[in-house]
Amino acid sequence: METKDKKLIIVEKAEELFASQGFSGTSVREIAKAADVNVAMISYYFGSKEQLLMEILRYRSDYLQTKVDDLLNSATLSWWDKMDIHIDYYVEKMRDNQHLHRIIVREVDMNSGSEMSEFILQRKKAHFDRFCDFIKQGQEAGVFATDVDLLGLYTLLPGVSKHILFNQDFMRVIIEERTGNTPTKDDMLDFAKEFLKKLFRKNLEII
């Protein structure tokens, strides 16, 4: 097995265990067993359990950041298309990385002020700053309204996405009662995307 494959398996198994048992409740030995590697290999690749978690967060957030940067630099897409695609990326990554987001909530809430929680907060702030840059460039281009609360707008992304994707049983019951139809997971994913796009347009359209 290639070194890259081994590292990826360790990262994926660690992410699953951290999300289900918590960071503090998961041992390196458990991660090694789940990944079918020895403890020494984890120490060799990552140094410590803390560094392993940071690598998970860095890998996932860098991927989204690259997508946002590619969008911002596109010369062929309109600003509204860029916004819609950004929302699609965000919601899809929220769905695909639910383990990661549970880790983030658990660690920031339970270990405020620790090196790990500070690392997480800095990563979140970096994404917020990039989001603000995106909106401001759209404002400078004369496309987006300028009287916008950027913090409030940004909060809609994780707020709406997490509520819909992490409370699917509740959403399913309400939608069934209102429409008579049973929504699939893909239906709820699409609902989150379209609802966010409508909210962003209402806030960013120049009247």
Q: Domain coordinates of the chain in residue numbers?
A: 1-47, 53-204
CATH for 1-47 (1.10.357.10, 3.40.50.720, 3.30.465.10, 1.10.10.60): 1.10.10.60
* Residues in CB range of 49: below 8 A, 6 or more apart: 23, 26, 27, 28, 31
Q: Is the pLDDT reported for residue 119 higher than 70?
A: yes
| Fold designation for 53-204 | Tetracycline Repressor; domain 2 (1.10.357)
The type of residue at 31 is: I
Q: Is the pTM of this model over 0.85?
A: no
The tens digit of pLDDT for each residue in 148-157 reads: 999 999 999 9
φ, ψ of residue 133 to 5 degrees: the values are -60, -40
User: Which pLDDT does position 140 carry in this prediction?
Assistant: 96
The tens digit of pLDDT for each residue in 50-73 reads: 889 888 888 777 777 787 788 878
Residues 8-33, mean pLDDT to the nearest whole number = 88
